[in-house]
Structure 1
């Protein structure tokens, strides 16, 4: 669960219950990261909106599995096992290639994405995500230009930036409040990328 008080689904009322009903998975399960917001439902609503629009929106053009991989990489750099476990499972499901997923996980676990089965441009994107996570003040315009030269459009660079920023936020929510995966259903994600209110999971 977490180190602070949380309100379980069966005790939730009012706005919190409505938010839980939007985000819940099978058997009324609410992920602990979302339940950690239960004493301030307005912050949960903000988290939900950022997560859905940054990671699961039809306006994104980078494949969803790679956006999830960025999240796994950032979470590994931050030593956030909760988000690594959740989002690796989601990435693996979206990728549909268990062997490649295993190789990607091993590379991330070893901290060496240069050996991962990825294109050079994808490795460059992960390098940018690492800098933004660990040494953000070291990023220069030249790095953005290099991503552009590697084939990323500016909107896609923004996608990489926002996914990286979101996971740093999520990791600090989890690590700072002691969230664990007890009771969570691992690897679910919203199916409908066009409707912010549709949190149907699989």
Structure 2
């Protein structure tokens, strides 16, 4: 389409070349949001990998955890801002606004979580996620001890590390392949 904004630096598969399970994966987003997030369209270039990634994403972000869904989205935002990933900042900033019903808080976390009005326990979680993102080779048991001291269980710490890892990987996919965020994210939760 002439004049259309590119969604990726790679070819975007058309719906008619996708297997039914990928199209079924899109259905809830269409029904709930009114659009298909570009990550689902763009990752569909490799359908089996999209389905595997989405299963991991759903478990890490929505599965059983001592972290709330909003806390997991806070990690997604802080990691994505640190990695300067436009796609994930837009998508997860919107998700955080929707989950917290507090656009000002979500925007404050995206601007600088260290100055956002957060409980010390949550700030410790985000400090850990940021450290793991920016300086993984310097992480030590002391970092885990600090999370325990802030009130997180070992299972919670594992979840914090996993969500951090998930978004470092996702940020690299989005940034490395030029994935454009959906424009609809800008107004979600505002």
Q: Is TM > 0.5 for Structure 1 vs Structure 2?
A: yes
Task: Select the residue among 74, 78, 82 that pairs with 1:73.
Answer: 78
Cα shift at 1:35: 2.0
Cα shift at 1:2: 0.7
> Partner of 2:59 in structure 1?
53
> Partner of 1:38 in structure 2?
44
> Partner of 2:4 in structure 1?
none
Please identify which structure carries the higher helix content. Answer: 2
> Partner of 2:154 in structure 1?
154
Change in Cα spacing, 1:94 to 1:154, as seen in structure 2 (3 Å) is same
Pairs within 5 Å for 1:18-167? 18-24=21-27, 25-26=29-30, 29-57=35-63, 59-107=64-112, 113-167=113-167
Cα shift at 1:161: 0.6
> Partner of 2:8 in structure 1?
2
> Partner of 1:176 in structure 2?
176
Q: What is the TM-score of this pair, normalised by structure 2?
A: 0.85
Root-mean-square deviation over aligned CA pairs: 1.9
Moved over 6 A (4+): none
The gaps in structure 1 that reach 5 residues or longer are: 108-112, 188-202
Per-residue CA deviations over 1:127-166 (Å, capped at 9, x if unaligned) read 1111111111110011101111110001111111111000
CA distance in 2, matches of 1:99, 1:48: 29
Number of equivalences: 177
Cα shift at 1:41: 1.1
Q: What is the TM-score of this pair, normalised by structure 1?
A: 0.80
